[in-house]
A and B are shown apart, each in its own frame.
Chain A
Amino acid sequence: MLEIKNLHAKVEGEDIEILKGVNLKVNAGEIHAIMGPNGSGKSTLSKVVSGHPEYEVTEGEILFNGEDITELDADERAHLGLFLAFQYPVEVPGITNKTLLREAYNTIARANDREELDPLEFEDYLIEKLNVIEMKDEFLNRSINTGFSGGEKKKNEIFQMAVLNPKLSFLDETDSGLDIDALKVVSDGVNKIASNDNAIVMITHYQRLLNYIKPDFVHVMMAGKIIKSGDIKLAEELEAHGYDEMQKELALNGEAQ
């Protein structure tokens, strides 16, 4: 579904490369976890894949279902079925969740020659999706993330994901700032959405999230590259020994710079 080949990227207008040759392949039905210390480039990876204009790809390509999407705008990628759950969901006063979601849902539907939903149909559809994340319907009429608690914002991201039904979702540190109850609700929501037809890439600092959402693959990212890939055991290893230990070990084996 997603194939990232030798991806290099930097902040637009700056010289320092943040991604230094990322390779990643994600198939339908898979859940991947990308772990890494702060500043390793994992959040940047999710932004570059979603088309954030702040970043410039200098080398490599991003293929989505075989199509090169490296040069596409963020909305065009969303139309193809990409979704980014933000690490810091943005507050947008004055626009309700419902307004955004209806506009987004129908825009994506139009782009894919699917039928749009009228306001009443959409309301029913939204209420059904609220169950995924145990949100109250009053949420729909609140301004996007405005005055939401940290946990509510993260829940709202997963709710949007449930509504827009993307093929591939990047969850950027969706676990950060969540208490244990919220973490369970959010994880439960993600597990409900995950299917054989879609794929999920979780970006996280901590192994804790992986107790609730079981990944098929775990990747370790450091200094702008994925330096090691494996299964859940890799995460456990990290939890036990830390990133420094892994870096040293890899250095000894000559696997990393």
Chain B
Amino acid sequence: MSEVAVKETMLNFISGEIDATSDSVAIKAINLRGRDALESTAFPTRKDEDWRFIDLKSITRNNFVSVSSAGVKEAGDISDHYLPESLNTRMVFVNGVYNEELSSIEGLPNKVIVGNLSEYGDHDAVKEHLGTITNYENDAFAPLNDAAFKDGAFIYLPEETSVETPIHILNIFTDSDKAFYATPRLLFVGEMYSKATIIEEHIGLADNVYLNVPVTEFRLFAGAHVHHARIQRDSKQANHVSRPIAMLDQHAEYHSYTICLGAKLFRNDPRVIQNAQEVDFTVDGLVLIDGEQIADTHSIMDHRFAHGKSHQLHKVVVNDSAHSIFNGKIFVAKDAQKIDSFQENRNLLLSEEGTVHTKPQLEIFADDVLCSHGATIGHLNDEEVFYLHSRGLTEQKSRELLVYAFALESVESMEVDSVEKMLLEEVIQYTNRDLKG
């Protein structure tokens, strides 16, 4: 067969025009950049190393339209999803569009901003940092967000400020007539010695098909401390391709925890870049999937300077025909000595039909570092099951408890009580489904 020169791009799976660019100069520049990249970036295929194992059919068999032409439904009453800890630090986006009515921002410390990006285009931090660290080369997905986003969460913490309550960024997705793409955006800028907890949630209210392509940018200056929980509970038919990235200056700490429960297809490429000596970061994940779900995490822990400490625990439970992929890259540059990096991927496979691919990928050019990695794939341990079973618990209950215990450690990292409680309920629901052997 003759080689066809025309490559597919993201635009092949988008129908109709992308909405007009933003009125904000800063955002418009990113919109235009994204539109260029959309046209020039090839859509990934199985031949691309980073896309070898993932089946993108649930994206490529669709034509996604913009939210404005998808016939999206109202969100209705979503107060069940509000966090009691964040009653006055909550931003709600419905299908990527900021909803002021459902949001509640009150009593923030002086000069702290938690607001809609579209209103802060003139802010120095937006002008300087929006879109600067999200340089995903050859990426077909981030440009869609760049091209189409208008609203977004902008969180700005001046020097030595701390927001006591968790900031809840609640992304709600509603039912629709047509499959749509949504482009949630989050820019966080923490000046020196600032401190905050961010809970970024994605919730699908219905069972509809959509493509959620969030981009989150975290810029932490010296001594800033951030706890970032990301909870993905998209519609079970949705596609979620996210690009969370963080850049850290000296003594900054960034601890991120991604929980994957929903979506038909989940692809997450978290990246943390060390921008100065002595940083500390976490890129943990918990994936609970069943049915035909696919969850793929391709992370990069990019150590560019000396004395960095990093940690990654990626836990996965696979039931039915679900498929998990993990590729954890640890980069250590030549002069980045005394890096202490730890990566562990633990997979619990509950069914014969489930699939797990795991690949640690260490590229270390410094010679005085402590980097370790490990990956395990296992079934539930028969002796553990029998031990509980012999104490009077049914075999099913014994299995449920063991899966629960496996997931518990990750849930306990949340640090926000109501989030922990909600996740434990999710874990129990997951284990209450038919657990295979």
Contacts and interface: CB of A to CB of B under 8 A. Distances in A.
Interface string A62-88: 000000000001110111000010100
Contacts of B386: 52-53, 74, 90
B405 A94 contact: yes
B139 to A, nearest CB: 37
Contacts of A54: 382
A93 B405 contact: yes
A215 interface: no
B416 interface: no
A94 to B, nearest CB: 3
A75 B393 contact: yes
Contacts of A160: 391
A142 to B, nearest CB: 13
B388 interface: yes
A104 interface: yes
Interface string A91-104: 01111000111011
Interface in B376-394: 381-384, 386-394
A164 B391 contact: yes
Nearest to A86: B387
A95 B402 contact: yes
Q: How large is the interface on B (under 10, 10 to 19, 20 to 34, 35 or more residues)?
A: 20 to 34
- Most interface-central of A78, A101, A160 (chain B CB within 10 A): A78
A176 interface: no
Contacts of A79: 392
Nearest to B383: A90
Nearest to B390: A74
Interface residues of A, number: 31
A29 interface: no
Contact of A108 (B389, B392, B406): B392
B369 interface: no
B397 interface: yes
Interface in A22-55: 50-54
Contacts, number: 74
A93 B405 CA distance: 7
Contacts of A73: 389, 394-395
Contacts of A89: 387
A107 B408 contact: no
- Most interface-central of A54, A84, A89, A90 (chain B CB within 10 A): A90
Interface string A133-163: 0000000000110000000000000001000
Nearest to B396: A75
B393 A107 contact: yes
Contacts of B392: 75, 78-79, 104, 107-108, 111, 164
Contacts of B391: 75, 78, 100-101, 104, 160, 164
Contacts of A107: 392-394, 397
A101 B392 CA distance: 10
Nearest to A90: B387
23 contacts: A51-B390, A52-B386, A53-B386, A73-B389, A74-B389, A74-B390, A75-B390, A75-B395, A77-B390, A78-B390, A79-B392, A90-B387, A92-B384, A92-B402, A94-B409, A95-B388, A95-B404, A100-B391, A103-B393, A103-B401, A104-B388, A104-B392, A164-B391
Q: Which 5 A-B pairs have the closest CB atoms?
A: A94-B405, A78-B392, A90-B387, A104-B391, A104-B392
Interface of B: 381-384, 386-395, 397, 401-402, 404-406, 408-409
Interface of A: 50-54, 73-75, 77-79, 84, 86, 89-90, 92-95, 99-101, 103-104, 107-108, 111, 143-144, 160, 164
Given A89-B387, A100-B391, A144-B387, 5 more contacts: A53-B382, A54-B382, A90-B384, A100-B393, A104-B393
